[in-house]
Amino acid sequence: MASEPAAENIGYREIEAVIDPSHDYESVTEKISRISLTPTLPKSLYIVAGISLVLIGLLFTSVFWLVVRGTGIWGLNVPVAWGFAIINFVWWIGIGHAGTLISAILYLFRQEWRTTINRFAEAMTIFAVMCAGLFPLLHIGRPWLFYWLLPYPNVMQMWPQFRSPLMWDVFAVSTYFTVSLLFWFTGLIPDFATLRDRAKSKIARIGYGMASMGWRGSARHWQRYEIVYLLLAGLSTPLVISVHSVVSLDFAVSSIPGWHTTIFPPYFVAGAIYSGFAMVLTLAIPVRSLFGLKDLITLNHLDNMSKVMLATGLMVLYGYGMEAFFAWYSGNEYERYMMWNRMTGPYWWGYWALILCNGVIPQLLWLKKVRISPIPLLIISIIINIGMWLERFEIVVTSLHRDFLPSSWDMYIPTFWDWSIYIGTLGFFFFLMVLFIKFLPIISQFEVRELLHKKKHGHH
């Protein structure tokens, strides 16, 4: 071990470690289980749940009205046939990506700090993908015929168009949801068993007992469990890249200026991880202070997540740069006009707001002080979430609303129903998050115990 003062100098002891070393196995288990086993929640979460419930009501009302009247109640028109539905779909699914990155890729990279945030991020992934999936279903106009998207033998002799990335989306997103759910649930099993053993009320014991699927924590269980977890991490890894790449192809395979450009797949993936980490921070910062988890989700975590945001944010900025450069360099007048219109046309405010939110303000993350200050970080991550939404708005709307023929140009103005469904899904998401915080262990207990073991007894 290097001498302590040296370590001090290079910044490794400047902030807390990934876990407070004063913890022992019992104290972490107690601390985390207590959240799920206490019958009440902090007052502020009841307020969040109440508001979310109202928004869910709004969501159901809007969906009902949409089914009755059809997608005409949205602000869609020709040429802007893809509006909020696609914007929100891409936004939500992008947010999900951080969970998979944290739980799968960081696991394979042996990044120990992921241990206290992975459960949380995985839950966020699943809820975000649920919100995302709602939009294409509603956008098809007749949601009750959604199964037409699936290739099944039918009397109509109809098959889906396999050459369309929209078709690939069906498979990509459903695979993503299934694998994420399995990964999440598998991770939860030992913790369900812990809760089962600690619960005082009979109902809780039965509920957690069923969910733990007979887990007894024998050495044989653990040995197999570790292998299964590693395999699931390996299987989830390609999904981090593939899902948003397919989403980007929805746009890029067309010949529409603003959509058709070869940088799209990696640029979309970077943007997804960027927005996902922003959402993890948006949720984690309030939760760690609400439940006194600052010794488990430490400043070290905030620092690391900020660095990931800074790196992916720079990649996204590189993407904006390439888009702008090639709009000019291509020499294609439609490409050039699209970019010019994006920057100075009727939606100019959106473009520059997105540059401000995604490109300029996050540069504050270069400063270590900002990376370890929860409140500024919370504000920056909310700004990034807004910026990433604006990015999808700009990509979808400004590429379409003035197309090749000036006679068919039109403006896209979202209606009340566009907004209500979007805000409704926000309520849905936050309500599920509150349920998750109430009933499930929000930090993976057994992985934290394992981390403690490693920290105290060295690696094996």
Q: Rule CB under 8 A: which residues touch another protein? A: 1-2, 6-7, 9-12, 241, 245, 249, 252-255, 260-266, 314, 318, 322-323, 325-326, 329-332, 366, 459
CB of 112 to another protein, least distance (A): 13
- Judged by beta carbon, residue 143 or residue 266, the one nearer another protein is 266
Quickly list DSSP for 236-267: HHHHHHHHHHHHHHHHHTS--TTT--TTHHHH
- Return the HEC string of 107-173: HHCCCHHHHHCHHHHHHHHHHHHHHHHHHHHHHCCCHHHHHHHCCCCCCCCCCCCCCCHHHHHHHHH
- Judged by beta carbon, residue 265 or residue 414, the one nearer another protein is 265
- Judged by beta carbon, residue 188 or residue 396, the one nearer another protein is 396
Gap between the Cα atoms of 321 and 212, Å rounded: 50
**The pair of three-digit structure tokens given for residue 309, joined into one six-digit string:** 């945001």
- Judged by beta carbon, residue 84 or residue 251, the one nearer another protein is 251
Give the other-Cβ count within 10 Å of 333's Cβ: 9
- Asked whether 411 and 401 are in contact (CB, 8 A), the reply is yes
Gap between the Cα atoms of 20 and 450, Å rounded: 14
**The pair of three-digit structure tokens given for residue 333, joined into one six-digit string:** 């007048």
Gap between the Cα atoms of 287 and 441, Å rounded: 13
CB of 4 to another protein, least distance (A): 10
CB of 260 to another protein, least distance (A): 5
Which residues, at least 6 apart from 405, have a Cβ–Cβ distance to it below 8 Å?
Answer: none
- Judged by beta carbon, residue 44 or residue 262, the one nearer another protein is 262
Report the first-to-last Cα separation within the chain, whole angstroms: 17
- Judged by beta carbon, residue 193 or residue 240, the one nearer another protein is 240
- Judged by beta carbon, residue 256 or residue 434, the one nearer another protein is 256
CB of 168 to another protein, least distance (A): 11
Mark residue 401 as left, alpha or beta (left: phi above 0; alpha: psi -120 to 50; beta: remaining).
alpha
- Asked whether 41 and 383 are in contact (CB, 8 A), the reply is no
Gap between the Cα atoms of 350 and 347, Å rounded: 6
Residue the block writes with tokens 């914007």: 87
Assess whether the previous peptide bond of 79 is cis (omega < 30° from 0).
yes
- Asked whether 250 and 395 are in contact (CB, 8 A), the reply is no
- Judged by beta carbon, residue 67 or residue 108, the one nearer another protein is 108
- Judged by beta carbon, residue 6 or residue 411, the one nearer another protein is 6
CB of 253 to another protein, least distance (A): 4
- Judged by beta carbon, residue 250 or residue 295, the one nearer another protein is 250
Give the other-Cβ count within 10 Å of 159's Cβ: 11
Which residues, at least 6 apart from 135, have a Cβ–Cβ distance to it below 8 Å?
Answer: 84, 85, 86, 88, 89, 92, 421, 425
